[in-house]
């Protein structure tokens, strides 16, 4: 919370949720609920390739008092129609009817390149606890159209750390969930704070810096691999990545650290 963050989205892509057993995912959720400060929102990602497992995870999240749940489309079998996606979300969401449900739109991971405005229209009135979308895709136009649907009926959480500022300017984003927030949260929440007081230059500088950080991790297999090693560098060793991810070597870690030092990352990153 001292880094400006108001919640956490656990067992998602950065947390390698699909690589964990159902029991491991439940234990992680329970531990987060034990550790979370009062008022800190814990949203549990419950998506899996088995919808019955997802529903069990949703029921568990409600039982332990999580704030909300979310699920991305299963990577197998590929979901290629809106009705298929609605049915998938519906079966999961009804496992935790008292919690807000967010669809996690990240088609780069599951090839579910479906129109999100059509999803909102389809779930409207059908899934009572459908709260909105964690939108991790490049189309600012689509994001804004979803935000405008029925005067902002659904919560559109911005999911790409590299484009928070344009979404604030055009889309009126109220919040976001991103992978690099784990170690660069101070700068990302700083964008929101600067925008709120009309300090566009500071907001631009922080957005550009956040893109520089992303440029570095892209050299080291992205956030799931490079980002996890950054957590070690700032004092929170989360261990190795699960197979089939290719872990960074010590030489790669040293090289990445040098690149981060060159942009003064360690002076600006999250503090624990």
Both 76 and 19 in one domain: the answer is: yes
Both 203 and 166 in one domain: the answer is: no
Both 1 and 99 in one domain: the answer is: yes
Q: What pLDDT score was predicted for residue 171?
A: 74
Q: Which of 133, 163, 178 is the last residue of a domain?
A: 178
Q: Identify the CATH number of the domain in which residue 7 sits.
A: 3.20.20.70
Both 5 and 140 in one domain: the answer is: yes
In whole angstroms, what is the distance from residue 123 CA to residue 114 CA? 14
Q: Which of 130, 150, 178 is the last residue of a domain?
A: 178
Both 99 and 148 in one domain: the answer is: yes
Both 17 and 141 in one domain: the answer is: yes
Q: What pLDDT score was predicted for residue 1?
A: 62
Provide the domain count of the chain.
2
Per residue in 63-75, pLDDT (tens digit) is 999 999 999 999 9
What residue numbers bound the domain in which 190 lies? 185-272
Catalytic residue among 18, 102, 103, 134: 134
Q: What pLDDT score was predicted for residue 271?
A: 85
Q: Is 2 a catalytic residue?
A: no
Both 64 and 190 in one domain: the answer is: no
Total length of the chain: 272
Per residue in 59-115, pLDDT (tens digit) is 999 999 999 999 999 999 999 999 999 999 999 999 999 999 999 999 999 999 999
Both 217 and 84 in one domain: the answer is: no
- DSSP states along 118-148: HHHHHHTTTSTTEEEEEE-SS-HHHHHHHHH
Neighbour-count burial of 226, counting CB atoms closer than 10 A to its CB (0-12 exposed, 13-18 middle, 19+ buried): buried
pTM of the model: 0.95
In whole angstroms, what is the distance from residue 80 CA to residue 60 CA? 29
Share of the chain above pLDDT 70, in %: 100
Taking alpha carbons only, the member of 155, 173, 170, 162 closest to residue 137 is 162
Is the confidence at residue 174, as pLDDT, over 90?
no
Both 19 and 37 in one domain: the answer is: yes
Both 134 and 267 in one domain: the answer is: no
Q: What pLDDT score was predicted for residue 87?
A: 98
Q: Which of 146, 178, 210 is the last residue of a domain?
A: 178
Q: What is the mean pLDDT of the chain?
A: 96
Q: Is 134 a catalytic residue?
A: yes
Both 161 and 249 in one domain: the answer is: no
């Amino acid at each position: 919370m001292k880094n400006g963050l108001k919640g956490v989205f656990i067992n998602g892509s950065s947390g390698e949720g699909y690589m964990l057993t159902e029991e491991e995912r439940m234990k992680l959720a329970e531990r987060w609920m034990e550790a979370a400060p009062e008022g800190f929102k814990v949203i549990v990602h419950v998506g899996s390739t088995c919808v019955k497992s997802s529903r069990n995870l949703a029921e568990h999240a409600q039982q332990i008092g999580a704030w909300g749940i979310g699920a991305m489309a299963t990577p197998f079998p590929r979901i290629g129609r809106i009705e298929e996606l609605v049915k998938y979300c519906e079966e999961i969401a009804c496992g935790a009817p008292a919690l807000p449900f967010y669809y996690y739109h990240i088609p780069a991971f599951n090839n579910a390149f479906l129109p999100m405005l059509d999803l909102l229209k389809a779930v409207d009135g059908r899934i009572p606890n459908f709260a909105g979308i964690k939108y991790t895709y490049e189309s600012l136009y689509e994001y804004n159209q979803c935000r405008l649907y029925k005067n902002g009926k659904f919560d559109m959480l911005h999911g790409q750390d590299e484009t928070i500022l344009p979404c604030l300017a055009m889309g009126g984003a109220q919040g976001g969930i991103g992978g690099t927030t784990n170690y660069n949260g101070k700068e990302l929440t700083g964008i929101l704070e600067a925008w709120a007081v009309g300090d566009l230059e500071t907001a631009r500088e922080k957005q550009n810096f956040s893109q520089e950080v992303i440029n570095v991790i892209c050299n080291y297999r992205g956030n799931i691999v490079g980002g996890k090693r950054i957590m070690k560098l700032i004092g929170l060793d989360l261990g190795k990545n699960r197979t089939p991810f290719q872990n960074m070597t010590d030489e790669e870690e040293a090289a990445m650290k040098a690149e981060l030092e060159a942009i003064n990352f360690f002076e600006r990153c999250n503090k624990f």
